[in-house]
Each structure stands twice: as C-alpha cells, then as structure tokens.
Chains A and B, each alone.
Chain A
C-alpha cells in the first residue's frame, strides 16, 4: 500500500481538504468527475489516432502522420474541424429529439464510469449493486440511438436505428449472462469486491483471475464478443454500415453532434472494456507476486489498453456480418453457450477445490457444447429466398 499506488486518492483528499468543510463533499465529487472526464476524454482522443494508425499499419499504410510529431495532434485537428462545421438539421426532422439524442447517448455513458474500480480504493462511488447499475445505465444507449434514427426522418437513419436496437437488445442477453458466473464466484454485486475476490495466486504463481478458469475463459470470450456488438464495433457495426446504410443513424448528423455520437460510442467501449477487466482479468490486480510493487491503477491501465488494442486488431481483421448471421450468432450460439457456462460455473463452485480433475471436467463440459454448437451453426445454410414479383 505505497504512496504511489494511492497517489490519486491522496491528491483528491488533499485538494478537497482545502475547501471549507460544508462544501467538502461537493468539491470532492466535482474533483472525481473532472478527473474521470479528463482521463477518459484524453483516452478517447488518443484512441482515435492510435486506432487509425494501427489500422493503417495492419493494411500496410502509414496512417495519419501529418499533424504534429507522428501525427499525434490529429485529434486536435479533427476536433477543430468538427467544431467549426455547420450544424445541419433536416427540415422535416423532429428538432427537439434530434437535438437531445447525442446528449442522451453521452450522458449515461459517463455515468457508467462511476462504479468502475480503476485501482485500489479508486472507484467514484462504491455501490453495493454496481454491476446492476452499470447494465441499467448501459441499456439507456439503445433509446438514444433510436431517438437519433427516428427523429432524423430519413430511411437510412431509421433502418440503422432499427438494426442497432435489434443488435443491442440481442447482445445485452449474452453480455449479462456471461457476467453472472463472476457474481456467483465473488458472491457480490459490487465491482470493487469482485476485483478483490480475484486476488491471490493458485499454486503460488497462477493469478486467481476468473479468466484462468474454464467458465471464466468462456465467459470472457462471450462477454468480449457481446461487448463488441454492444458498442457497435467491427465486425458488428451494422447500424452504421457505410457500404449499405451511408452512416446509419448518424446520417443526418454533422458537426459537433456527430462528434458527440463518436464520443459516446468510444466511451461506451471504454466502460464495457473496464468492466471486462474488472470481471475477468482481475481488475487492478498484478499478474505476478513480484510485480505487485507497481501501482494498481497502472495494471488496470495496462489491461485496459491491451483489450482496446484487441478490439482494434479484430476490427482490422474481420469483415462485417450480415444481419441474419448477427442475430443467429447471438441467439443460437452465444446465449446457449452463456447458459451452459452458468451451469459449468455452478459445477466448478460446488466441486471440492484443489482438484485438477475439476479443471478438466469443467473444460470438457464447455468444449463439447462449443464444438457442437459451432458445427450446428456452421452447417446452417439460409433458405434461398423466393421472390414472387421481384424476379
């Protein structure tokens, strides 16, 4: 528990202590909010440029390298461009809803950061039901997306929004189902408790992170895929598929409102990545005993960056799914697998500990349905559609 580990907590206490006693709680809250917004705002700017550069490298291009050293000031240029662009609202749009949609997307997403533990003693509010709060807040973005699509009075916007709703509601189910085993293992809904429950090392060197158990690995995979779909990332970016829908629900947005949508989308990605780190990768825990002297928030940041890189890597690799493939994948593969995973986690928790056979049994219980479901799903060829009049 060194000073470096708690540097942000101590700094916040010290700064809040400077304020007069009656307003101290308020100042403390504002400091935390300002800190979160500064850190994740910067993170958003950096991710946009690093994503473009990484994608470029993966396609054997340089990526943006004109603005500043190595193109690192590109987000500044993008921001200025977005700010000075004309804000066009379609003539027949529902003006009020069109204006509110980007705000309705961005504000709840910021709220989701309130419950994430970014380090030891570093969560803004320690809710007992933090994960419930997270999912409740996270599902608000569907409404915002539909507001954007509906109010634009544009067929592309509406189709994009309808796709987004179908996709987000479908993938919310595996997302929640994949995180339930973690709650069973930790016996708590509070995110700091879940991170704390993954401390320690099995056999002296394997961290007790959930991802190193069979149900945790399967849960992490399901959670990761569902998270990509929740935040409209490639290969699940159907709601804004450029080649078929122009920009989906973003079609009628320009200027700063468009930037707000992007901000909301990336912040949603960060929030759900932070949740994945907390649930499966041990939160702020160090991966080895001799590395525990490094600050806990550093470990959180490292795991978080690795997962963001994985998202970018997958974006560069996979092509976009078709709508029926997307929904089939959610309902016929991920949801059954998540349910089986729930059962396997129960088996794992009820079995006596310290038995290698437990690991093999649980892995077998997961691999068999995985292969079976995968084969079943692979073999399905969609029925040739019959057109009565179009041909």
Chain B
C-alpha cells in the first residue's frame, strides 16, 4: 500500500535518532581537538633527519650524499656539503651537510627520500599539526634533526631493524679492524 515504505523509513531514522543517546558506538565522529585517533605506525608526513646520541650536530647520520635531493620528485631538498670530514659511526671519514633545507610547501610527503637513503638518515615523521604563526615553510637542518629515540618511538618496528643492521655493521667493522694488522707506512 502506498505510504508503507515511508513509515518504514521513518522508523529507521527514529532508531538512528534515539540510538545515539544510549549507544555511543553509533556516533563514530571523533571530535578532533579534544579526541584523537591512536597514531598509526605506517603514517607518514614530512621527512626528518635522524641523529644518534644527544648532540644533533655531532650525531647526525646524514653524509650529504645528495641522493635524496636528486631523487626527490618535487625537488624540495637543498643540500650544501661541508668542507671538513668527520668520522661516522664506523669510524670512516664522511662529509656532513652544511645546509639541509626542506621546503614544506613543496614536499608532497611521498617518502622517496627515506626509501633511497643508504645511511638510514632521512625518515618520515608522523606529526600532522603543522600550523604555525611563521610564514616561512622552509625547515632547516636543526629543525629537521630528531633523535633516534624519537624514531624508535614513532616507528618501533623499522627503528629496531635499522638499529640491528647498524650494530651488525659496527660489529663487522670492529672485527675487521681487530683482525687486520696496524697499517705501516711503506
């Protein structure tokens, strides 16, 4: 009969209307500033630079090799090499970046830089509340530097793998150093 479907529909909307008052599971809205969803490990936003230890400048893993700057599809990374070399975690002498800038306005958060980095130095961050009262959207070296502890905290699985690999390399380098005789000047 004409009108029965309308009545069924009205009952359905009524059920939804009063259901939300005693069954909070119906209201799926997360009221953002007060409530937040638990962060996802796989989430990625802008990149950051990992450093070991306490001092960002001393422990920075980046060797200014510029692979990320070349691979970046948006060309948002600018790297200027320093002139002096410093020993890295294996004791090898490496360059370090004098300037490492990322233009946040250009970065599209694709994660290519983190994929290609051979030194596990550049990683994707998880921060998303990026609004500021500052118009400059260029992040400089010290803005980008974040400790390995932070990396472990936001991406525990990946950080553990990186740490294990680096410890293994360090161990091998140490073994090689112990095995080889002290080089003599010919």
Contacts and interface: CB of A to CB of B under 8 A. Distances in A.
Contacts of A370: 2
B14 interface: yes
Interface in B1-37: 1-3, 6, 9-10, 12-14, 16-17, 19-21, 26-29, 31
Contacts, number: 44
Nearest to B21: A57
A313 B16 contact: no
A317 B12 contact: yes
Interface residues of B, number: 19
A351 to B, nearest CB: 26
Interface in A372-387: 373-375, 377-378
Contacts of B27: 60-62
A59 B27 CA distance: 9
A371 interface: yes
A61 B1 contact: no
A366 to B, nearest CB: 13
B16 A378 contact: no
Interface string A304-328: 0000000001101110000000000
A317 B13 contact: yes
A308 B107 CA distance: 51
A59 B3 CA distance: 22
Assign chain A's interface to a size class: 10 to 19
Given A371-B2, A374-B1, A313 B26 contact: no
Given A61-B29, A62-B31, A317 B9 contact: yes
A314 B17 contact: no
B2 A374 contact: yes
A58 B13 contact: yes
Contacts of A314: 10
Interface in B23-61: 26-29, 31
Given A54-B17, A316-B17, A375-B2, 13 more contacts: A57-B17, A58-B13, A58-B16, A60-B19, A60-B28, A61-B27, A62-B27, A313-B13, A313-B17, A317-B6, A317-B13, A373-B2, A378-B2
12 contacts: A54-B17, A57-B20, A57-B21, A58-B13, A60-B16, A314-B10, A316-B17, A317-B6, A317-B13, A318-B6, A370-B2, A371-B2
